[in-house]
Structure 1
Amino acid sequence: MEEIYRAHARTVYKFLLSPCHDPETAEELTQETFYQAVRSADRFDGSCKVSTWLCQIAKHLFYHHVRKRRREEPLPEEGDGLPPLPSAEAEAMDRDGQLSLLRRIHALPEPGREVVYLRTFGGLSFREIGEVLGRTETWARVTFYRSKEQLKKGGEHDEG
């Protein structure tokens, strides 16, 4: 497991830092990711790359962290200088757009889906993606570009 940690800790950290924007939280969640990976190692069936499996664990831990934080945050007082909250309608439309995009990303064929996840949510460079997936930087760039084009075409069909 130590070898897996050395090989993938930076990838998991960058994957978590992208959505949480807090190095300390990303570091804590990275450590927790590997702890959970050790606990559930017997359930890893090899159907995906180790880095993908670890990022899935990290993603679930991040979502759990966000839900926990929301429960613990006090509600702001009215007139406390914060900008007005978006309407429920605006939030629902924004969330629907995000869910639609996530569904289209999830529907991409492999390895495009994994490249998009690592680039978009993991914040990895094309060189790092190539290293993680055992390919070249150029392959990662081309695969990302082609997948992005597929997503654009999918979006046009949703609206038209």
Structure 2
Amino acid sequence: MEDLSEIYKSYADEVKYFLICLTSNVDLAEELTQETFYQAVKSIGRYNGECKMSVWLCQIAKHTYYNYLKKEKRNAHMSVENMMDMGVEIPSKADVPDVQLVKRNTLVSLHKEIHSLKESYREIFLLRTSIDLSFKEIGEIFDKSENWARVTYYRAKLKLAERIDLNEL
């Protein structure tokens, strides 16, 4: 078995990137990455080598994120008014050049559409496009077949294509 620090060095960036795609929040992704590796250390005895280490870690990361969401549901979310009362500044569009504003709006629109997909479609789409996992690896993460991953990815692409007119972006 590889040394735990070597595992962290080898896979931390991949896990963090996966979590950034899921959460759309770099700070949260960093926090969840740390929690993922903590959970991995606690359960390293259960890793049997049947799948790649990165797949196993992404499974843990996914469950760590789900646990975070469950906790967040219990907590009340801050309203925009509360944020303004606390002095949180909302950036002005005047501060951004027009070209960058268009690019940003395009990325935001695309990101919103990806995150409006149902959960399995969204996760599979992000695993395939962002981390470039194979369909076999994606199937392993979800305890499903490679064919299931292919079909679900194809359906996710169709849903996105229905929602997005690339000429508008």
TM-score, length-normalised on structure 1? Answer: 0.53
Q: Which residue of 2 aligns with 1:24?
A: 27
Q: Which residue of 1 aligns with 2:62?
A: 59
Q: 1:19 to 1:37 in 2, by over 3 A?
A: same
Q: Which amino acid aligns with 2:118?
A: Q
CA contact (8 A) 2:121 2:152 kept: no
Larger deviation, residues 62-71 vs 10-19:
62-71
Cα distance between partner residues in 2 of 1:98 and 1:46: 30
Alignment length (residue pairs) = 108
Q: Which residue of 1 aligns with 2:109?
A: none
Which of 93, 96, 118 is equivalent to 1:98? Answer: 118
User: What do the CA deviations read for 1:106-147 (whole angstroms, capped 9, x no partner)?
Assistant: xxxxxxxxxx66334xx22x5xx59xx9xxxxxxxxxxxxx4
Determine whether 1:119 maps to 2:128: yes
Deviation at 1:100, TM superposition (A): 7.0
Q: 1:151 to 1:61 in 2, by over 3 A?
A: same
Which structure 2 residues correspond to residues 7-156 of structure 1 after superposition, within 5 A?
7-74=10-77, 98=118, 101=121, 118-120=127-129, 123-124=130-131, 126=132, 147=150, 151-152=154-155
Runs of 4 or more, structure 1, over 3 Å off, are 99-102, 147-150
Q: 1:40 to 1:151 in 2, by over 3 A?
A: same
User: What do the CA deviations read for 1:50-69 (whole angstroms, capped 9, x no partner)?
Assistant: 00000000000001111111
Deviation at 1:16, TM superposition (A): 0.2
2:118 aligned counterpart, secondary structure? helix
Unaligned 5+ segments in structure 2 are: 80-116, 138-149, 159-169
TM-score, length-normalised on structure 2? Answer: 0.51
Q: 1:98 to 1:36 in 2, by over 3 A?
A: same
Q: Which amino acid aligns with 1:119?
A: R
Q: 1:10 to 1:72 in 2, by over 3 A?
A: same
Sequence identity (%):
42
Q: 1:68 to 1:149 in 2, by over 3 A?
A: closer
Q: Which amino acid aligns with 1:41?
A: I
CA contact (8 A) 2:39 2:60 kept: yes
